[in-house]
Structure 1
Amino acid sequence: MPDERPFSQEGERPVCGICPSLRLPGGRFDVHERPTSACPFDASTGHRFTAAGVPVCVHPERVGLPAAPYATEGLPLPWEVPPPADPAEVPVWVRAALTAAPPDACDEVIERAMDILRASDPGLDVVAMLRAALN
C-alpha cells in the first residue's frame, strides 16, 4: 500500500465526511469505540483529536478498523500483524485482516495465509479453509 494513500477513498467505506481516514493513511490516526472526552471535537478544524493532537476516528465499524491507538502507540494495522503460526488460528486472522485491509493489501493477506496453511499440511484444501474463514 502506498504510504501516503488515504486509508479510505470515496465510496470504499461508509465513513463520515470528517473522518481522518479520508485524508490520512492507516496508522496515522487512532480509532476509538465512540466519541469521548478523550477525543473532543475541535470546531475550528471540524475534526476530533487526542490531547496530543492525534486525529481520531470514532466509528470503528465504518472505517473497518478495530478501536486502537494506532498512531499514538505506533501499533501495526490488522493486516500488518504477523499471521499466527498455528494453522487453526489462521482463519480468524484472515477474517480480521481482510475486514480492515484496503483493497490493495488483500492479495498479500491471502498469500500469507495460503503459505502458512500449505506449510502446515501440504494435503490441506487451502481454498476450502479460506472460504470457511470468510463465510
Structure 2
Amino acid sequence: MVDAFVTSDEHPAYGICPSRRFPLGGFDVAERPSREYPFNPADGHRYTAAGVPVCVHPEKVGVPPGRYATDGAPLFSELRLPTASADLDRYLRDLMHSAAPGMLEQLIDQAVEQIPHVFPEVDVVQALRRALG
C-alpha cells in the first residue's frame, strides 16, 4: 500500500482530507466544494461521479486544482511572488509549510530563479532559510 501524502499533524490539511488517506496523485483537487463533488457522509470524503476522492481546499494541501487521479494531470505548483518585498518572508513561509512534499523542490527552484529578478535586493538563500526554518 502507498502511504498517504500528508502524514504530519502540523500540516494545514483537514483531518478528513483525502490527502491524509491517499498518495499524491491518488485524488483530484477542486477549487472549492461544489455539487459536482458530493459529500459522502459514510466516510466524510467528496467524490467525482466516477468515485475518485476529491480535496476541495487546494490552499490547504499545497496542490493547485487538477484532475490528478481522474486524468493523470501532471503535478505542478507555481510560485506567485507578492508585489512587495516586505511580504516575501510571510508568503514563502506559508507557501513552503503548506506545500505538497512532491512540490517543495519545484517551489524552491522557482524561488531561486524568480526572486532575484523581482526583488534584486533580497538574499534568496536567507529568505528560503527563514521560510523553511
Structures share a fold, TM > 0.5?
A: yes
Q: 2:74 aligns with which of 73, 76, 91?
A: 76
CA contact (8 A) 2:76 2:103 kept: no
How far 1:12 sits from its partner (Å)? 4.1
Secondary structure at the aligned position of 1:53 is classed as coil
How far 1:34 sits from its partner (Å)? 1.1
How far 1:107 sits from its partner (Å)? 5.0
The number of equivalent residue pairs is 110
Q: 1:30 aligns with which of 25, 28, 31?
A: 28
Residue 44 to residue 67, structure 1, CA distance change in 2 (3 Å): same
Map of 1:44 onto structure 2: 42
How far 1:45 sits from its partner (Å)? 2.1
Map of 2:4 onto structure 1: 6
What do the CA deviations read for 1:95-129 (whole angstroms, capped 9, x no partner)? Answer: 8x966331x76457657987x99xxxxxxxxx956
Secondary structure at the aligned position of 2:19 is classed as helix
Are 2:48 and 1:59 aligned?
no
Instruction: Give the alignment's TM-score, normalised by structure 2.
Output: 0.61
Separation in 2, partners of 1:74, 1:44: 27
Separation in 1, partners of 2:31, 2:40: 18
Identity across matched positions, percent: 45
Instruction: Give the alignment's TM-score, normalised by structure 1.
Output: 0.60
Amino acid at match of 1:4: V
Pairing 1:66-105 to 2, within 5 Å after superposition = 66-78=64-76, 100-102=99-101
How far 1:5 sits from its partner (Å)? 2.6
Separation in 2, partners of 1:60, 1:107: 18
Which stretches in structure 2 are left out of the alignment for 5+ residues? 81-91, 115-121
CA contact (8 A) 2:111 2:124 kept: no
Amino acid at match of 2:13: V
RMSD: 3.6
